[in-house]
Amino acid sequence: MFGKIQVVLAAVLTMAAGAPATAAQRPSDPVRTAAMVALRQLVADGNPAALGYLRIGDRQWRLAAGTADRSTGAPATPGDRFRIASNTKAFVATVVLQLVGEGRLSLDDPVSRWLPGLADRVTVRELLDHTSGIPDPTEDSHFFDPYFVRHDWGYVYRPRDVITLALREPPAFPPGTGYRYSNTNYLLAGLVIEAVTGHSAVSEIQHRLIGPLGLRDTSFPVTDPHIHGRHLHGYDKSYTDVSTFSPSYDWTAGAMISTTADLATFYRALYGGRLLAPAQQRALGTTVPEPDAPIAAGLGVFRMTLTCSDGAAVPVWENDGAGPGYLSMSMASLDGSRQAIAVVNVYDLDVEVHGGVPIIPSSGAIDVMRAALC
């Protein structure tokens, strides 16, 4: 949940299995036209705004539809920032793998080598591919009482406090014997980065990835509940603005802010082999299947099959992020030559933690993916 939303993603894929959205006239730019039709469908279905990024080779499209701020009526623009939620995990896994490539740690190291007294039977690899069995306390609705009950939108959770809550519960299974997505894994991975480097995880991501890739609209807040600069406002399903929300509970599991273009730049570099040595690139894409979901987990990334409107099956790398007010989905062809990203600004975390459907159902996001990848 809050990022690797397997059940929601599976439902969207099933719903989107029919014919793609089509334009009324023959388009002069079929990729742009198909993507814009899909984005407008997302808005028509109830999302105030939808953003899209598509790339085929060196051709790129940055698109927007709808309203960024319902209170002012400001239109959405392609460069609007948004919370990328669990897309953050790909950045964190990349830094861990870079440290492995530098010989500073091993994927087979027990976590307790770097964090004494914590997760002594779990390896670093098992954190990154979610096979640790460590529970996720954010699955308990009461975890979010400071926000949704007391309306303290700036409430700060420290990473070690969240980890302590997680480790009070019994593991879902012995490490390495099953799969269960848990944000706690990536909070521990963030602490491992800090233990290995002696620097904050945020500063390591900044100087290894954000700076070198020129991601000028990407930031990593730790406690600041506000999104600064031009951005999409995020909403729950009743259209209450939830843009102001402390990212502290998510930290290295999902606190980053970015744009579609910056996110695409990062994934293009990652899947194109520019960020990791060959051995670590292979480790990145070594997957374990997720039970009851059409997707397999690598190290901070996922592999799945996109079904095109003609029935063709296209294997892709997939990442997504979901949290208060925002849902984003990113896919790339296995050879890295094609990419697509779709973003909407409705995601109801309070509904989700109480067992409901947090999104506005729409096939539009998958149709954006198809416009570039099929």
Query: What 3-state DSSP class applies to 182?
Result: coil
Q: Give every residue of the chain whose pLDDT is below 50, as ranges.
A: 1-4, 6-8, 11, 14-26
Dihedral in degrees, nearest 10, Cα atoms 7, 8, 9, 12: 120
Helices (H) and strands (E) in the chain, counts: 14, 11
Query: What 3-state DSSP class applies to 342?
Result: strand
Q: What is the DSSP letter of 214?
A: T
For 19-25, which contacts have Cβ atoms below 8 Å and span 24 or more sequence positions? Answer: 19/309, 20/309, 20/367, 20/370, 20/371, 21/363, 21/364, 21/367
CB of 74 closer than 8 Å to CB of 67 = yes
- Catalytic residue, candidates 86, 132, 243, 246: 86
CB of 193 closer than 8 Å to CB of 95 = yes
CA angle 26, 30, 35 (to 5 degrees): 120
141 is catalytic: no
CB of 188 closer than 8 Å to CB of 73 = no
Please give the domain boundaries of the chain with CATH numbers for all domains: 6-373 (3.40.710.10)
Residue 3: per-residue pLDDT: 44
CB of 324 closer than 8 Å to CB of 118 = no
What is the phi-psi region of residue 173: left when phi exceeds 0, alpha when psi lies from -120 to 50, beta otherwise? Answer: beta
- List beta partners, residue 307: 313
Residue 28: per-residue pLDDT: 77
pTM of full prediction above 0.75: yes
- List beta partners, residue 329: 320, 342
Q: What is the DSSP letter of 151?
A: -
Instruction: Classify the C-alpha dihedral 286-291-295-297 as positive or negative.
Output: negative
What is the phi-psi region of residue 219: left when phi exceeds 0, alpha when psi lies from -120 to 50, beta otherwise? Answer: beta
For residue 212, CA distances in Å to 89, 180, 215, 218, 332 come to 18, 33, 8, 12, 21
pLDDT tens for 180-204 read: 999 999 999 999 999 999 999 999 9
CA separation for the pair 51, 36 (Å, rounded): 9
Residue 27: per-residue pLDDT: 54
Residue type, 374: C
Residue of 310, 313, 272 lying closest to 294 (CA atoms):
313
For residue 115, CA distances in Å to 122, 194, 198, 341 come to 11, 10, 13, 36
Residue 295: per-residue pLDDT: 93
Compute how many other C-beta atoms are within 10 angstroms of the C-beta atom of residue 202: 20
What is the phi-psi region of residue 252: left when phi exceeds 0, alpha when psi lies from -120 to 50, beta otherwise? Answer: alpha
